[in-house]
């Protein structure tokens, strides 16, 4: 890597500060490799009088994102001849056309994946076709030469115990896509290496638009030399930015971190993620940073099989179906925080998503112990009734309509998706009307249910959380048994295993000792927010095993005998609300 540093230093395309150098990183991780360093003695007093000093200026044309790659490939001067320019261009276009026909390719169409796709093509054709020198040098001497490890290297093993995590599930799908696309041309280890090298070095770089307005777009970009800077939020002393007049990428050092300090070289640290969300960091960069000062986050994704089989609630169907029908993300945010001189994990109940997750845990109504949620195992007949009322001409075919809805609902309940894209007519909420005080029941979605129950939730918060904690303790016990050992010998698998084991032991001990487990009980504010929750998992090709599979949706031959009033006091309102679905569908 020192040769790479010298190559760009002497190429005169990237502007270096004379105090900048490349050395072995000080980060306590054997995989951290090299890092950028500055020598305080090589900064002038004039520079130190400013807030920041420019360490690097990387022209836009020296970076690699989709726009710059297309510009380079479209420039005849980047090739030795017109013939080579046309030959390479034709090959890339042909390859891309073939790739675009791949089933479901559009699901994976992101800027980062397109960038990976182009470099995979370059690696495939560079022996037979001319590649522009700047691209070929970076591919050969950086991407293919660095030592890198990410979750994709052991994804097949990780997916066995962590496939219910959307991040792992998505990584398995995208790595499978690249394997299918390039397995005839590249070794599987090369595909994984190139994928890991790119995602671990990509930065989200802003770029000023051409409109003349002060508007910026952000692009997933590879930036030579800047990508040697390591992450350390607690020692962050530099950041990257762009020069809006040229879209050059800048690395700027905060001068107060070296002003008046010793002349000993200091490592330059930037932030890969302002919020240390540990699973994404492990997946992408192959390491988990040590806890220093700021809170760290982990988003637990509940095993779908555990949700399906859990019997600790007064529901007449499983939690898996509940969350699917109401489109609730079955994840929970945890936060690692120092409290009373102890560094511990807490349930992060400051997120708005938690109120949705807690919906099935709201205690029964009054002393009668009436369940809050009732599952209608014959809900296909509610669908049939609404369908025939909205479309009167189908009344004479009501039995056939019922058969179709029966098959559809059975299919969507048993597939691997995290959501059911149908009106939420399978679950009925029982509640006390805020105005009249009367008991009511209705079909509702997650947002409406949260609103209806807001007053009761305020009264029953403690009971609701206690019921959830009981469920959560059972889940921790289940996970501890499930992950008795790492899924493989890879470094990522071991780190993932050790991290989850720490979380399980810490939270289980807190629950058993009746210690504080919810962050809000600390009566303090978080100094950082977790990243956006991962999306609901989409996997409709997969059918989940279910021991009660044949009992989920019983079939009734006579739709006219079904009375939806058993499950809702607002049938007409609900029919009007979802009329468009039945009319269009």
Q: How far apart are CA 418 and CA 536, in angstroms?
A: 6
Residue 96: predicted pLDDT: 92
Residue 489: predicted pLDDT: 82
Q: What count of residues does the chain have?
A: 585
Q: How far apart are CA 423 and CA 577, in angstroms?
A: 9
Q: How far apart are CA 63 and CA 88, in angstroms?
A: 20
- Condensed to tens digits (0 to 9), the pLDDT of residues 323-369 reads 999 999 999 999 999 988 899 999 999 888 899 999 999 888 776 67
- Condensed to tens digits (0 to 9), the pLDDT of residues 304-331 reads 999 999 988 877 779 999 999 999 999 9
Q: Which CATH architecture has domain 2-6+13-61+223-272?
A: Beta Complex (2.170)
Q: How far apart are CA 376 and CA 382, in angstroms?
A: 9
Residue 139: predicted pLDDT: 96
CB 21 within 8 A of CB 56: no
- Condensed to tens digits (0 to 9), the pLDDT of residues 506-537 reads 999 999 999 999 999 999 988 878 778 888 87
SS3 436: coil
Which segments in the chain show pLDDT lower than 50?
A: 549-550
Q: What element of type H or E holds 403? A: helix 398-414
Residue 254: predicted pLDDT: 92
Angle between helices 166-182 and 278-285 (to 10 degrees): 20
Q: How far apart are CA 218 and CA 519, in angstroms?
A: 34
Q: How far apart are CA 60 and CA 246, in angstroms?
A: 8
Structural domain boundaries in the chain: 2-6+13-61+223-272, 64-201, 296-584
- Condensed to tens digits (0 to 9), the pLDDT of residues 454-483 reads 766 566 788 889 999 999 999 999 999 999
SS3 101: coil
- Condensed to tens digits (0 to 9), the pLDDT of residues 30-55 reads 556 889 999 988 988 888 889 999 99
CB 440 within 8 A of CB 569: yes
Going by C-beta distance under 8 Å and a sequence separation of 6 or more, which residues neighbour residue 6? none
Identify each DSSP E strand in 152-307 by its residue range. Answer: 203-208, 216-221, 230-231, 238-243, 248-254, 266-267, 269-270, 276-277, 296-301
């Amino acid at each position: 890597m020192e040769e790479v540093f010298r190559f760009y230093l002497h190429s005169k395309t990237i502007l270096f500060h004379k105090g900048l150098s490349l050395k072995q990183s000080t980060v306590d991780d054997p995989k951290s490799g090299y890092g950028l360093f500055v020598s305080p003695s090589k900064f002038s007093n004039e520079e130190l009088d400013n807030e920041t000093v420019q360490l690097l200026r990387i022209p836009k044309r020296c970076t690699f994102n989709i726009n710059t790659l297309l510009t380079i490939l479209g420039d005849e001067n980047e090739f030795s001849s017109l013939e080579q320019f046309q030959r390479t261009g034709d090959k890339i276009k042909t390859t891309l056309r073939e790739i675009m026909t791949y089933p479901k390719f559009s699901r994976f169409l992101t800027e980062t994946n397109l960038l990976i796709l182009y470099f995979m093509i370059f690696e495939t054709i560079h022996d037979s076709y001319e590649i522009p020198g700047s691209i070929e040098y970076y591919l050969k001497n950086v991407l293919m030469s660095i030592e890198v490890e990410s979750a994709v290297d052991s994804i097949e093993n990780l997916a066995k115990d962590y496939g219910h995590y959307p991040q792992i599930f998505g990584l398995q799908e995208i790595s499978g896509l690249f394997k299918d696309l390039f397995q005839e041309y590249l070794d599987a280890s090369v595909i994984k290496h190139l994928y890991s090298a790119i995602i671990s070095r990509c930065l989200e770089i802003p770029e000023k638009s051409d409109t003349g307005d002060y508007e910026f777009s952000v692009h997933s970009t590879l930036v030579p030399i800047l990508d040697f800077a390591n992450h350390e939020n607690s020692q962050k002393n530099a950041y990257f930015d762009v020069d809006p007049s040229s879209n050059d990428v800048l690395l700027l050092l905060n001068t107060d971190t070296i002003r008046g300090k010793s002349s000993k070289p200091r490592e330059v640290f930037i932030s890969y993620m302002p919020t240390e969300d540990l699973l994404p960091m492990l997946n992408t960069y192959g390491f988990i940073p040590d806890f220093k000062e700021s809170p760290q986050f982990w988003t637990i994704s509940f095993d779908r099989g555990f949700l399906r089989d859990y019997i600790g609630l007064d529901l007449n169907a499983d939690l898996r179906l509940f969350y699917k029908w109401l489109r609730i993300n079955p994840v929970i945010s945890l936060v690692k925080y120092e409290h009373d001189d102890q560094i511990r994990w807490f349930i992060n109940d400051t997120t708005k998503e938690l109120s949705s997750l807690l919906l099935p845990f709201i205690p029964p109504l009054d002393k009668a112990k009436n369940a809050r949620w009732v599952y209608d195992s014959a809900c296909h007949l509610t669908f049939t009734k609404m369908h025939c009322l909205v479309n009167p001409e189908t009344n004479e075919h009501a039995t056939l309509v019922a058969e179709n809805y029966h098959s559809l609902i059975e299919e969507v309940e048993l597939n691997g998706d995290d959501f059911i894209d149908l009106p939420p007519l399978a679950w009925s909420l029982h509640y006390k009307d805020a105005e009249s005080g009367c008991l009511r029941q209705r079909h509702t979605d997650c947002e409406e249910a949260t609103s209806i129950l807001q007053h009761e939730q305020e009264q029953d918060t403690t009971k609701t959380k206690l019921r959830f904690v009981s469920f959560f303790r059972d889940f921790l016990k289940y996970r501890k048994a499930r992950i008795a050992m790492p899924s493989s010998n890879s470094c990522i698998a071991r780190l993932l295993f050790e991290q989850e084991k720490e979380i399980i032991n810490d939270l289980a001990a807190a629950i058993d000792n009746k210690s504080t487990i919810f962050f809000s009980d600390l009566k303090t504010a978080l100094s950082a927010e977790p990243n956006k929750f991962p999306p609901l998992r989409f996997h409709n090709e997969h059918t989940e095993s279910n021991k009660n599979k044949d009992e989920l949706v019983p079939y009734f031959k006579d739709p006219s005998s079904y009375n939806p009033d058993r499950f809702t006091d607002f049938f007409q309102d609900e029919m009007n609300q979802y009329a468009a679905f039945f009319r269009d569908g």
